[in-house]
Structure 1
Amino acid sequence: MTRFLFASDSFKGTLSSAQIAEILEDEARKVFPEVECAALPIADGGEGTVEAVLAACGGDYVSVLVEGPLGGSVEASYGILPDGRCIIELAAASGITLVERDRLNPLRTSTVGFGQLIRHALEHGARSVYLALGGSATNDGGMGALRALGVRFLAAQGNELYGRGEDLSKIASLDVSDLMPEVAEATFIVMCDVTNPLVGPKGATAVFGPQKGGSVEQLAELERGMINYAQVIKRTLGVDVADLAGAGAAGGMGAAAAAFLSANLVSGIDCLMDLAHFDDLLARADYCFTGEGRVDAQSLDGKVLSGVARRCASASTPLYVITGSISNDAHRLLDRGVTALYPCVDASTPLEEALAHAEENYRRTAARVFNELSRQNAEEAE
């Protein structure tokens, strides 16, 4: 009996974690006469985290009509686990996939909707709350979310600011007297998919602002605003979030959670694997398979692949990685617990073609991996 554990991230826009697990099991059963397959949908704190946790642990979705990143209304869901713990995903209400690419503008987007989800959960009794940060369209420092929870951000003239990226530089003071009392009664754990600080060359604005539509001029304005924001928080609350690891997650939402919600910032992938009892599943597996849409330098720090690789290395379980494509530095993962790395397409394949044939390419690569593994086992048995 050969036992496999399939724990792959989704390939965004093409294959879900569940689809990938189905393909892997199909191809494994074609090659190995007796197999036992376990599948764990997985994510790193970004889009798909609630789905992955509920798939692993059970629980229920709660749907709420909230404000989208650029206003208007979106229907967003969060999860309630069987033991009453709550998991809320920022991408569901304030995610980049909710905004058309030509409308992305980090000066105008806000996390108000994410805050409305948190408010709803607290008002309905949630007191152990996991906040999954990642995949945001925002760079507002979490101002919008905090405003939805009762925090008031004031300009020099005394007028209240809405809580968009453009408001960061206008903050002169803040008022937490109307912060909903349930916040103090709750415990917050932030699942971060990055370790970036709030400001500086590795901060929220510099690293992630461009992918959210920010121009050079806009990013300079946002960085000045984020520095001002950090200074006001330190002056008012006595909390220094500027260089805090993970503070830059989701356009600064990590900083907001740490300073205003007394949240504990943890690795998103490690937190999810603990919630889903990943180590117990791994202990029963002979081989583990994982992957993500593209393996690059970021895969080494806080992403799904790095988290799974650490656990497999600790358990001495061979780890096979099937990915859409790889960067030139992907081989570094072979020193981080990865046994073998298989891209579905080579670097010369046009992106549109790779996306159009994602399932076909993945299935072909999976078949190749299982056949190679079978031959290797046969040679070792001789």
Structure 2
Amino acid sequence: MLYCGESHTRYKEITMKIILAPDKFKGTLTAAQVTEIEEKAIRSVLPGAEVIRVPLADGGDGTVQALTTALCGMFQTCTVQDPLGRPVSAEFGMTPECAILEMATASGMVLLSAAERNPMKTSTFGTGELIRKALDSGVKEIVIGIGGSATVDGGTGMAEALGYEFFNVAGEKITGLCGGKLSDIARISSSNVHPALKNCKFRIASDVTNPLLGNNGSVAVFAPQKGATPEMMPLLEDGLANLREVLYRQNMITEDIPGDGAAGGLGLGLRAFCSAVPESGAKLAIALTRLEEKLNGADMVITGEGCSDDQTENGKLCSELAIFCNSRNVPCYLLSGKIIGDPGKLFAGYLATVPVEMPFEEIKPRSAELLYQATVKFAEKMFAK
């Protein structure tokens, strides 16, 4: 499907400034790979074009890869605990501005088999170890994406790794924090936290707005996919409620906000234990990559994702980018793997790189080829004299 709106005469010029700012094509190509392929395709039609690659992510999987690449950072790996306490190698990004982390690389469902998922036992301890590693390097700002979690521990495992201590009503120290131990917490001590924690700014990249508790809360909405049985659900809900009560009592939080329920309550935990600020993942990516500066003199922006549909307008990265571009009078085009229905009027035009009916098994090995061919087709439609 090809729809490119009206051809604009200024796009016929040989010298153009084109910004490539896609999300990942889930399951096939990273955002950085998408920009590489699209640049080659565009240059085959417009060899003199100025092409700027800005891979993006909204806090979900691919955030480290995309933003570290866009910010010309370096990738580092360290060994941390997975959600069940086993060693796993986790990657994070170090840029001149900040460290970029994904909790899913340490505490994500991707690290567990279906049979291993049990939010009563899983922990964010490994995420805390990732943060420690970044703090040890001297960073003053940490951006953390919190999508894809396997946990419902309210961030207590993370806090334990950072030096927070938890005690029960008898004054006994609780270790190995996880979803099943939240109801035991009566007091929290910050006496031995990592010394660099208080001087580091934390920014949560997430577009999840669920509250901590209730019918739309962390447990009710997300715990079943993390392996929670019907018997576990009230125990996890009560545990998070107890943690929240303790945090209020010790003035570690003063209000409930949307997003506290993200990542099994890690949204709340990052606020309470790291003074983190939750931000829209899409808007944060746009700000971090200094896209506004890059738009100066730009003729167009090309974005995209694995599959776009009539929900693409509702706050997803591509739509947020289009809104941003439109407010600055720069047309934004959508090149996505599949396009189902109408992605909306935010985009100056759109193109699907594969037919809707093509099965994923056929798409995956040909994803780079199909994207290249579609981008050439788009470029010839828009730019060729």
Identify whether the pair has TM-score above 0.5, normalized to the shorter chain: yes
The partner residue of 1:334 within 340, 344, 368 is: 344
The amino acid that maps onto 2:217 is: G
What does residue range 1-382 of structure 1 map to in structure 2 within 5 Å? Answer: 1-32=15-46, 34-82=48-96, 85-156=98-169, 158-237=172-251, 239-240=253-254, 243-295=256-308, 299-300=312-313, 303-326=316-339, 331=342, 333-335=343-345, 337-374=346-383
> What's the offset of the Cα at 1:8?
0.8
- Relative to the length of structure 2, the TM-score reads 0.85
| Most deviating of 198-207 and 273-282 | 198-207
Contact 2:32 2:69 (C-alpha < 8 Å) held by counterparts: no
Instruction: Give SS of 2:188's match.
Output: strand
Aligned partners of 1:232, 1:311: CA distance in 2, in Å?
40
> What's the offset of the Cα at 1:293?
1.9
> What's the offset of the Cα at 1:6?
0.7
Which ranges of structure 2 fall in alignment gaps of 5 or more residues?
1-14
Which ranges of structure 1 fall in alignment gaps of 5 or more residues?
none
> What's the offset of the Cα at 1:290?
1.0
Structure 1 residues 290-310: Cα deviation after superposition (integer angstroms, max 9, x where no partner): 112233576445542133122
The amino acid that maps onto 1:358 is: S
Aligned partners of 2:237, 2:363: CA distance in 1, in Å?
36
In the superposition, relative to structure 1, how do residues 126 and 29 fare at CA in structure 2: closer, same or farther (>3 Å)?
Answer: closer
Instruction: Give SS of 1:199's match.
Output: coil
Aligned partners of 1:320, 1:150: CA distance in 2, in Å?
47
The amino acid that maps onto 2:344 is: L
Aligned partners of 1:370, 1:212: CA distance in 2, in Å?
43
Instruction: Give SS of 2:84's match.
Output: coil
> What's the offset of the Cα at 1:272?
2.4
> What's the offset of the Cα at 1:51?
2.7
Structure 1 stretches of 4+ with a deviation exceeding 6 A read none
In the superposition, relative to structure 1, how do residues 102 and 299 fare at CA in structure 2: closer, same or farther (>3 Å)?
Answer: farther
Aligned partners of 1:61, 1:316: CA distance in 2, in Å?
35
Structure having greater relative contact order (Cα 8 Å, sep ≥ 6): 2
Aligned partners of 1:345, 1:215: CA distance in 2, in Å?
39
> What's the offset of the Cα at 1:151?
1.8
Aligned partners of 1:283, 1:214: CA distance in 2, in Å?
49
Instruction: Give SS of 2:344's match.
Output: helix
In the superposition, relative to structure 1, how do residues 322 and 109 fare at CA in structure 2: closer, same or farther (>3 Å)?
Answer: farther
Aligned partners of 1:214, 1:305: CA distance in 2, in Å?
33
Calculate percent identity across the aligned residue pairs.
37
In the superposition, relative to structure 1, how do residues 16 and 124 fare at CA in structure 2: closer, same or farther (>3 Å)?
Answer: closer
Instruction: Give SS of 2:210's match.
Output: coil
> What's the offset of the Cα at 1:245?
2.1
In the superposition, relative to structure 1, how do residues 69 and 348 fare at CA in structure 2: closer, same or farther (>3 Å)?
Answer: same
Number of aligned residues = 370
